[in-house]
Structure 1
């Protein structure tokens, strides 16, 4: 569901408006705006790419490259990978000499090397052609082999270390039946003209710059582009008012996340009354309570705890943001404590939270590895305490001395064999 109905979409751009877009480095494909749009592919390069593939290039990919051979995208994309609803960064459309982490040829060579390493009998031609993604972390592929999957879109996402996301390990999966279907999944979770930063801001700035031109064709093109961009904004509020929100997973989760991050108890209670689960995962393994902790949304935190939502993951996510009372409350309710929790707690300004959570943790190899860092932080706190004492700031000095004492105690507890 989007913010603008289909019958309210602008008409097609005129030839003069399309010329203005090209001059501004913009292009349209399948109703989505491409930034830093490159000149269309020529026949020689198209043939050269085809030579590297297992079969013919799918028509939608050729259509994209005939429109713009590379550029940047600024939309939200989510998909189900490994049973998890995860965001996917489809920010780059690869092209030769892009200046990115790899250009198109570099990614093709990279994939061919992987094929040779893992499939000794590989033909050297790619079944899955990398066409875009984000640096080295995420890639989007087009299937080029003859057969039922020809033209289908797949993705790969690198697993990140603990602390970046809640699970590790690479993930891969199918995104769409073809490239146009993938572009149809590119949406915006917020209207960029209603928020300062975030996804869509680069498109907003490009459209506004076009609209400030003295050229009437540029201004009319900008007006149409703005409506096209806003037509991709997910309209969870409309679904809420229509009473259909609870049945639409993407919109439901977006609304729950917004209520949690904005500390909006009234909205959260309304969503729950409609049948939305206030404990549902809303983003990358995070529940509304986890989101509320990240945003220090105290009213929502209290309301959710009164609903007895699960708290197992809360301190792994929000140990840096809780006070001692809340930390103790979450511990009593069954929140898990591990090395990730303690690491996150080290960023808490209140060392008593660090002390409480660390003493609740059972020493293990993960915590033992924190020993050197704890000793370094303890030494830094001791030096800060000495400086503050010299400046006659006794209250601040006592706080830093207490931090140094707690961190030294924890270092000795977690890694007793490495005491200096």
Structure 2
């Protein structure tokens, strides 16, 4: 599958269907090449030359979409970077290249004025991709040792977003654009996903449309999908070879797969292979945090048995019918009892776990009954408001109307 080549005619046909191959990755919804006049206008805004690799990209396509995974360490978190767009002139949305250039010029001028330093009127970092207003990719265009580097910026979210990045942050993706494209990968095989939402979903839907509505040949489409799937992270081969522990990035992908598939046996296999479960797996969340919040309770129990660290606030992330055995294991290994967790367990139909947490709260000198009443009433109001919005037809929720109603019923009938 790794040696897939396309003939000039096949590449031409793909181009007609909005698909361009660049640096071993697939760009779809690809725009025409950037005209020389537009290239010159971009160059005029830069403090140094546009990197050759970026020029090469724009000479093939002036913008388009990507559908891969990318993670970077930022502020101690492991952050998923949404690099779904390649900006292009003429867009009337978030992926407007000239709009982002003007935005960056305004910010640079304001920063220079505030600091009282002279400003050249030129960009040192050229925005060329990202996702809406939350994630952005830059090419360093300032002359010097860092010229050509690709840098990712991510917007911090409010403190209420648990485990999210709370400060705007940057990190280097690669020394140049081809390396940045090489960093794009697929955590999961899009033809065998472990969740309802996965990288590759958008591209596959795009190709299906090109086949059904625009006549893209099915064999060529399948060949392109096979080419695309070469980016699937292969952690299974080093796991079998006993070398996975030497590849931390691949090991994290394997742990994410085990959690996503709720595969306790794989967690045990990874532990036996020497894979550690310390450090963040998603944002600032530990592997046990992610497993508990996703209802991957077999994986969570296996992680605890394997000695994975348990965060003090993990019980606040319960969102399913957690067993009393796992609840007790979490409490025994570092989870702090919390009245909000009692309410969540009760709402999710896990009364035995709710009572275990309540007993632990009482041992921690928490006056449980009044605190529970306050938290329960607040959650009931929130659930009832959500249900009313769903019934009004103007709101959707991942639990659906029946799921919300079920949680309301559990809370109304639960007794300490």
What TM-score bracket applies, with the shorter chain setting the length? Answer: 0.7 to 0.9
Out of 5, 10, 17, the residue aligned to residue 4 of structure 2 is 10
User: TM-score, with normalisation over the residues of structure 1?
Assistant: 0.78
- Which residue in the other structure is 2:234 paired with? 235
- Which residue in the other structure is 2:301 paired with? 302
**Cα deviations by residue, 1:341-371 (Å, 9 ceiling, x for unpaired):** 79977974568849949887989xxx9xx98
- Which residue in the other structure is 2:401 paired with? none
Output the CA distance in 2 between the equivalents of 1:202 and 1:378: 33
* Larger Rg belongs to: 1
Check whether the contact 2:156–2:168 (CA below 8 A) recurs between aligned residues. yes
1:337/1:173 CA distance change after superposition, 3 Å: farther
What runs of 5+ residues in structure 2 fail to find an aligned partner?
389-405
Listed as ranges, the matches of 1:389-400 within 5 Å are none
Check whether the contact 1:38–1:68 (CA below 8 A) recurs between aligned residues. yes
Check whether the contact 1:290–1:313 (CA below 8 A) recurs between aligned residues. no
In the alignment, structure 1 residue 291 sits paired with structure 2 residue 296? no
Output the CA distance in 2 between the equivalents of 1:27 and 1:128: 25
Check whether the contact 2:383–2:408 (CA below 8 A) recurs between aligned residues. no
- In angstroms, what is the RMSD of aligned CA positions? 3.8
- Which residue in the other structure is 2:260 paired with? 261
Output the CA distance in 2 between the equivalents of 1:184 and 1:398: 50
1:314/1:257 CA distance change after superposition, 3 Å: farther
In the alignment, structure 1 residue 43 sits paired with structure 2 residue 36? yes
- Which residue in the other structure is 2:137 paired with? 140
**Cα deviations by residue, 1:77-118 (Å, 9 ceiling, x for unpaired):** 112223433211100101122232251111111111111121
**CA offset at residue 398 of structure 1?**
8.1
- Which residue in the other structure is 1:150 paired with? 147
- Which residue in the other structure is 2:192 paired with? 194
* SS of the residue 1:156 aligns to: strand
Check whether the contact 2:289–2:311 (CA below 8 A) recurs between aligned residues. no
**CA offset at residue 255 of structure 1?**
1.3
* SS of the residue 1:119 aligns to: helix
What runs of 5+ residues in structure 1 fail to find an aligned partner?
385-394, 407-420
Select the structure with the greater relative contact order (CA < 8 A; seq sep ≥ 6). Answer: 1
Output the CA distance in 2 between the equivalents of 1:396 and 1:347: 5
Paired residues, what number?
A: 381
1:371/1:192 CA distance change after superposition, 3 Å: closer
Listed as ranges, the matches of 1:182-221 within 5 Å are 182-195=180-193, 197-207=197-207, 218-219=217-218, 221=220
User: TM-score, with normalisation over the residues of structure 2?
Assistant: 0.78
Output the CA distance in 2 between the equivalents of 1:109 and 1:127: 13
Output the CA distance in 2 between the equivalents of 1:176 and 1:234: 18
Output the CA distance in 1 between the equivalents of 2:108 and 2:338: 38
* SS of the residue 2:92 aligns to: coil
